[in-house]
Structure 1
Amino acid sequence: MNNLEIAYTDVENFIYCLEVVPDADVEQSTEVVLILEHLVKQQHITSIYKACDTIEGLEESLNHLLYDDHNFKNYEIIYLVLPGEANSILINGYYYSIEEIAELFEGKMDGKVIHFANKKLLDLTDEESQYFLDVTGARAVSGYGVSSPNTSSAYTIDRLFFNLFYEDDDIKEVVEHMFRKQYALCKLLDFRLYY
């Protein structure tokens, strides 16, 4: 499993990133890794990055975070870079529903913001979003109504979201600021927040 710890600085802003890749045993610098490196250098947001290629790898990475990382309480954002459709993720040729992901994270995301990159659509009904939040314990879940292989959220909106969140953790204020700063892109990618 690919594991990268971005250099720690004397800051208290942390992101935990899980990315699905074709083969976690192959060392690679993905677009997401480059973004995380930029975040620590330019915005002083420290990250832990884990690559996985199976649902078991995803669960193992999550368990490592929960049980082995003593900074877990400092991670306010869990950044999921997972391909998929509507309300499912695709790992190693298998689709897993948002409900299955909620159950995988059951009770483990207390107070966290779970943010999905635009590699997959996030289109939850009120009932689905409430279920996800209740089961995981997450404070909020965010993502995009448009997935696009040509327009990555990582370089633009995701970085802005993370930066604004660590300036002001009032999630509604963060979203308002995002739309003021990048209205066209927020609309293009259809940024969504469930809380």
Structure 2
Amino acid sequence: MDDDKFIFCLEAVPDVDEEITTETVKNLEELAYELGIDSIYKTCDTIEGFEDSINALLYNDLNFKNYEIIYLVMQGEGNSIQLNDYYYSFQEIAEIFEGKLRGKILHFANEKILDLSAEEAQYFLDITGAKAISGYGTTFHKITSSNLDKAFFSLFEEEDNVIAIVEALHQKYYALCKLLDFRLYY
């Protein structure tokens, strides 16, 4: 990533008013310290908070075009995310992001399994304008995707082509990519 490109991270938490330092925050700090990759970190606990955070990024942050990756750390199922006890489908999320993610990569940590049909993925990409959606096909409670996420993000420093980045990720971290079932929809 060039010096002027960033990661925007949105993490689902039980209560946004409770201040805690999550593993995600620690990993983003490591990315900044070790690799010079800057990020913005926000939390949400409702769909309104999710939408407000994205809208603040879209409409109030003049550097939005510099955010190449939107990193979502939240639970859910194959084609939905979970905020507190409510599930929101990718179709609903696509409508929130409609036309707003041109050239962005939406990356999910392995808190949730990313399991989209070809039609669901294509619909999301067409509606939002995103370049790609990535994530994992398996979730292990003892193994988080954080180290592989950091490796994935660091590869953007050297390359812009998402396919080449994923190939390099598999070459360097094949066993972990296979274990977590890294997935890319583009």
TM-score for the superposition, normalised by structure 1: 0.92
Cross-structure match for 1:41: 33
3-state DSSP class of the match of 2:115?
coil
Q: Residue 27 of structure 1: CA displacement?
A: 1.1
- Describe how 1:5-154 pairs up with structure 2 within 5 A: 11-154=3-146
3-state DSSP class of the match of 1:173?
helix
Q: Which moved more, 1:141-150 or 1:183-192?
A: 141-150
Flag structure 2 segments of 5+ consecutive residues without an equivalent: none
Q: Deviation string for 1:54-92 (max 9, x for gaps)?
A: 000000000000011111010000000010111111101
3-state DSSP class of the match of 1:57?
helix
Q: Partners of 2:136 and 2:37 in 1: how far apart?
A: 22
Q: Deviation string for 1:75-115 (max 9, x for gaps)?
A: 00000001011111110100111111111111111110100
Indicate which of 165, 183, 186 corresponds to 1:192: 183
- State the one-letter code of the partner of 1:44: G
Q: Partners of 2:129 and 2:18 in 1: how far apart?
A: 33
Q: RMSD of the alignment, in Å?
A: 1.0
Cross-structure match for 2:173: 182
- State the one-letter code of the partner of 2:120: E
Flag structure 1 segments of 5+ consecutive residues without an equivalent: 1-9
TM-score for the superposition, normalised by structure 2: 0.97
